[in-house]
Structure 1
């Protein structure tokens, strides 16, 4: 039987659920059993509605719960036949579509799923696959995504343990052990696992890559127990009853797309809608969003904050939107103005989620049906612990903060991952007493609900004064012309860092940097936090799922400062900023080789030595 969903109106309801120990709530040991239960109880009910093109009259592809479970079983059997065992990984380079679900959940069933951002370079993908021990890869090889097949073939040359390549939308080539994914599944039974595998909640079932802003990304190990818990807990918090229909515009290599908007509703017997393989990156899907809602009647609508901002720029044109119960978002801060827009336009609040890869996307949530406070990320889900603690003088974690007192946000519970594939990274992730260190700063209000104010590592350190970038961003986003704001530190020889801000403007609005800087000065109480300069840009650099990518903005500031500093000695022609495993960030100055290289190097050291940003000079020879 599919697990029941209990409406949560507040902390008392969560505490009532916790009277039963978590170990006694569900018998399922794996996601495979959850999918089996949904197929058994709701065999002919639609599980996935896929809209291939985003056109208004798109011809939907529908997959029932029975069909979904059969394809997951067939995928697991196909992987097993190709030599994948419980400790082997299946690499997945796929956009959002039904086959991605077959591959992801089938890989968890046969071994370990390793979904990877397909926009990474072949070298980055290969590094992740080698670290995961990928034996088989599933790749979207259709001409609809040019370059993907060539990228997959390049990756294969760099991953010696990869024995087979399964392609969606491309033909088999048995001589190279390349197979059409759907045809390979058709060869397998869909009613039982040929491996006869049994499961434990301790089994590692997924490697998600995370980080990547300082050196190579890390692979977080998530277990069957993490996944089973997350599927159940998210359903309780978001009200994923079997009649729910959720929109999932996110890629499945992101934990929110796979778990919050995928696994949880599907295992609740609900339905998900996938608005094209590219989600809202597809302009047709975005332009026709409200028509899609009117036609397919979703109850839960949303995406990452960038999606919510984009959707708010496409006003409804009289469509029947009465099916919507909740707007949801997470993954980054939602501008308060955008939150107000949805509340005032639709009379429905935006329910926010807070979590990360290492917590199986869970940390805090606004339960659907409970009151939502502006800017608040909600309360802890059942069986999870949430704490905010002070930093001691030596940087270690201290006592718990009082209500409304800012400190480091920590999490503990059944959703927390056991560690990274590289165990040397674990010590920095966990406190000595077993709490996961989120890297976020925030506070709990009098009701125990969470507000995140910034990152412990996203602070701007001005002369020893730690400035929360969120304070700057929140103030500037009150400007009527500003759509988004991102504050970062500019290298400075005296202060270490000075705050600056980048902004994008709302369509049809005009403002320059000096005007917005003056506005910030009038709305930021702490003088050191007032940005020294505001840059108006066309668009924010963003990750594939829409998060603002601040490393690119920091790199821009380093290049600007270094170029200006080195201009007088003519050494500013080629400066690049890149991730570095040792230093985190490294500025690389490329110069033509010269008989005076020692003098030039000394001049550069004299000029740049006062900055905290490490650099190196690379001498090039003319060909």
Structure 2
């Protein structure tokens, strides 16, 4: 018998002990579908999903058992196969959180490949993703559920000739009975006992595509295989210590691995229960406002949230809600401010554990030890069956050596959880290093106990609320303006979203434009709304490297300085003459040094700590007087 995934996790020694059982133990089933069939048989009558009524998260929910979830997945798989889905083809969907979304997730993986797409993307991006994924089946909400998403779906339908069938949730007049069908009606006509006309799944079959964020072209598609997902059911399951006794709120979107894997398949495979709080998930303000009462009512055991949600929950009093069912909190997707982690830990009485992973490595690859020492600011210790190290790269981008203990380097990973390569092959040269190591693009250090500390990013991605924004999307739009000679986009610190995109602009000689004019110009040309720059700063000369490239670390430092100066300006009792300098610390990464011309004052120091502690960028206070 394999070691239970609820085995203790106090430190690296427990990870090593878990790895004493071969990976093959967890790969005895050839597919996620087969593994879920086993789970459904074991927990047949137990509640798998509970969906709360839209607009009333404290109303009476509707529940389905594991057996009913499997039957719905079988029907979905048969529906897709009956519509002509063949090997290597994909079911793309833009569904809200619902039973049908989980039927589609499991059913599409059973019959072929699933690809959930962010419905907030522009129609051209959605179409590009569907084309890259070789989509032949589309599943979307109808106009009665979401008119805006239906209009985007209509654009895809009109411009994707490979489509064999479209299934519409809440379908009405959209359905023609020829190519476009009502999802629920078509589902009801399918056999539910097993998947028909299906070849047995294999470990290295691709079963999912996940897009990695908006770019100037089509977002990169990372494939997931059965092998990748199965090993992460064990590894992430061990890190979380998940079991059939756990209940999680499933409020994260299925187009992200946090929603589909971490708070989706991992707890479901272990026999846990998911509570769907709203079709919009955590984007529904009613859910956030009533979160603690949802925990109380459904005895939620794991608080799973992205950092922006944690910040929002700090503004929601627990009140008389009984949250004693919580055993741990887990967060990832973007850097979480240390003060937020400490505050939410104090508010809930359970440790808020920060973890780290990537779409390209399936799920969490590190997590703070749930039974051991929580070191706030770290993303924890590696999980089973994955190797992680910090390395130094040479001028060609190849590994020159492994970083020493606590020396900052580029974080790289290797293991069964790592994808075979992007669908678009052009991206793979920069993604992979020698001997199968994947380049995360993140800078960090690993301490003597195996804790990983992220200190910055070697790549330029801006991460807004866990959403990856390629800065070139902003830069190329601004370069179209006739007055712009150079444009560079970076992220500025934001206490809620982690980062917000901003841009710096240098004009051509003799040219000029206002910041508002540039923002309007960019807004008209940037397809992804989340990428619209919140600020545009006009500079006389862009900082450059010795070979003439824009030196973005200087821009990020300037952006941080501007934000922190603004935050300090609203504090009472702070004298004039203070300043903020942003430098790179050898082990902490970017650090803001607050220089004060005041006599040392504990009350003022506390105010500054509270004001700046909401940001992920660390700060230090230097008293020049006193």
Structure 1 length normalisation: TM-score?
Answer: 0.77
Equivalence for 2:380: 378
User: Structure 1: how far apart are the matches of 2:577 and 2:166?
Assistant: 57
Check conservation: 2:2, 2:25, Cα contact below 8 A. Answer: no
SS in 2 for 1:24: helix
Q: Please, which moves more after superposition, 389-398 or 332-341?
A: 389-398
User: Structure 2: how far apart are the matches of 1:459 and 1:73?
Assistant: 39
Change (3 A) 1:318 1:440: same
SS in 1 for 2:303: strand
Q: Please, which moves more after superposition, 407-416 or 44-53?
A: 44-53
Structure 1 unaligned residues grouped into runs of 5+ = 461-468, 533-547, 549-623
User: Structure 1: how far apart are the matches of 2:281 and 2:341?
Assistant: 21
User: Structure 1: how far apart are the matches of 2:400 and 2:453?
Assistant: 19
Change (3 A) 1:2 1:199: farther
User: Structure 1: how far apart are the matches of 2:592 and 2:12?
Assistant: 39
Check conservation: 2:11, 2:372, Cα contact below 8 A. Answer: yes
Change (3 A) 1:188 1:389: same
- Cα RMSD of the aligned pairs, angstroms, is 3.1
Q: Map of 1:105-184 to 2, 5 A cutoff?
A: 105-171=106-172, 173-184=175-186
Q: Map of 1:462-481 to 2, 5 A cutoff?
A: 473=493
Equivalence for 2:406: 404
Per the TM alignment, residue 392 of structure 1 is displaced from its structure 2 partner at its CA by 2.1
User: Structure 2: how far apart are the matches of 1:196 and 1:300?
Assistant: 36
Equivalence for 2:263: 261
Pair 1:500-2:554 in alignment:
no
Q: Please, which moves more after superposition, 254-263 or 57-66?
A: 57-66
Equivalence for 2:84: 83
User: Structure 2: how far apart are the matches of 1:279 and 1:518?
Assistant: 46
Change (3 A) 1:409 1:51: same
Per the TM alignment, residue 113 of structure 1 is displaced from its structure 2 partner at its CA by 0.6
Which of 191, 194, 213 aligns to 1:192? It is: 194
Per the TM alignment, residue 529 of structure 1 is displaced from its structure 2 partner at its CA by 7.0
Q: Map of 1:340-489 to 2, 5 A cutoff?
A: 340-458=342-460, 473=493
Change (3 A) 1:510 1:71: farther
User: Structure 2: how far apart are the matches of 1:517 and 1:189?
Assistant: 74
Q: How many pairs does the alignment contain?
A: 515
Change (3 A) 1:209 1:484: closer
Equivalence for 2:95: 94
Spell out, residue by residue over 1:152-192, the C-alpha distance to the aligned partner (whole angstroms, 9 max, x if none). Answer: 12211111101111011113734441111122111111111
SS in 2 for 1:313: coil
Check conservation: 1:485, 1:501, Cα contact below 8 A. Answer: no
SS in 2 for 1:252: coil
Pair 1:305-2:363 in alignment:
no
Change (3 A) 1:166 1:500: same
Per the TM alignment, residue 196 of structure 1 is displaced from its structure 2 partner at its CA by 3.5
Q: Please, which moves more after superposition, 9-18 or 139-148?
A: 139-148
Check conservation: 1:249, 1:278, Cα contact below 8 A. Answer: yes
Check conservation: 2:247, 2:274, Cα contact below 8 A. Answer: yes
Per the TM alignment, residue 267 of structure 1 is displaced from its structure 2 partner at its CA by 0.6
User: Structure 2: how far apart are the matches of 1:183 and 1:99?
Assistant: 12
Pair 1:511-2:574 in alignment:
no
User: Structure 2: how far apart are the matches of 1:413 and 1:290?
Assistant: 38
Check conservation: 2:335, 2:498, Cα contact below 8 A. Answer: no
User: Structure 1: how far apart are the matches of 2:402 and 2:576?
Assistant: 36
Equivalence for 1:321: 323
Structure 2 unaligned residues grouped into runs of 5+ = 463-489, 506-538, 545-550, 594-614, 616-626
Pair 1:15-2:63 in alignment:
no
Per the TM alignment, residue 531 of structure 1 is displaced from its structure 2 partner at its CA by 8.4
Equivalence for 2:518: none
Moved over 4 A (4+): 482-489, 502-505, 515-520, 522-532
Equivalence for 2:580: 521
User: Structure 2: how far apart are the matches of 1:138 and 1:19?
Assistant: 42
User: Structure 2: how far apart are the matches of 1:128 and 1:11?
Assistant: 39
Check conservation: 2:455, 2:590, Cα contact below 8 A. Answer: no
Per the TM alignment, residue 54 of structure 1 is displaced from its structure 2 partner at its CA by 4.8
Check conservation: 2:3, 2:18, Cα contact below 8 A. Answer: no
User: Structure 2: how far apart are the matches of 1:518 and 1:105?
Assistant: 60
Per the TM alignment, residue 485 of structure 1 is displaced from its structure 2 partner at its CA by 5.8
User: Structure 2: how far apart are the matches of 1:347 and 1:264?
Assistant: 24
Spell out, residue by residue over 1:47-100, the C-alpha distance to the aligned partner (whole angstroms, 9 max, x if none). Answer: 111113252532212111010111111111110101112211111111222111
User: Structure 1: how far apart are the matches of 2:333 and 2:298?
Assistant: 26
Spell out, residue by residue over 1:375-419, the C-alpha distance to the aligned partner (whole angstroms, 9 max, x if none). Answer: 111111111110110122444322111111100000011110001
Per the TM alignment, residue 526 of structure 1 is displaced from its structure 2 partner at its CA by 6.8
Per the TM alignment, residue 262 of structure 1 is displaced from its structure 2 partner at its CA by 0.1
Check conservation: 2:334, 2:498, Cα contact below 8 A. Answer: no
Check conservation: 1:30, 1:201, Cα contact below 8 A. Answer: yes
Spell out, residue by residue over 1:212-265, the C-alpha distance to the aligned partner (whole angstroms, 9 max, x if none). Answer: 345321111111111111122111110111111112211000011100000000
Change (3 A) 1:54 1:366: farther
SS in 1 for 2:453: strand
Check conservation: 1:77, 1:189, Cα contact below 8 A. Answer: yes
Pair 1:216-2:218 in alignment:
yes
Spell out, residue by residue over 1:310-355, the C-alpha distance to the aligned partner (whole angstroms, 9 max, x if none). Answer: 1111121121110000111100001111111022223321112211
Which of 282, 285, 310 aligns to 1:283? It is: 285
Per the TM alignment, residue 454 of structure 1 is displaced from its structure 2 partner at its CA by 1.2
Per the TM alignment, residue 38 of structure 1 is displaced from its structure 2 partner at its CA by 1.3
Check conservation: 2:58, 2:290, Cα contact below 8 A. Answer: no
Change (3 A) 1:509 1:142: farther
Q: Please, which moves more after superposition, 213-222 or 102-111?
A: 213-222
Structure 2 length normalisation: TM-score?
Answer: 0.77
Per the TM alignment, residue 494 of structure 1 is displaced from its structure 2 partner at its CA by 5.3
Change (3 A) 1:529 1:87: closer
SS in 2 for 1:265: helix
User: Structure 2: how far apart are the matches of 1:279 and 1:289?
Assistant: 11
Per the TM alignment, residue 450 of structure 1 is displaced from its structure 2 partner at its CA by 0.6
Spell out, residue by residue over 1:420-478, the C-alpha distance to the aligned partner (whole angstroms, 9 max, x if none). Answer: 11122211110022100011000101111111111102399xxxxxxxx99x95xx97x
Change (3 A) 1:117 1:51: same
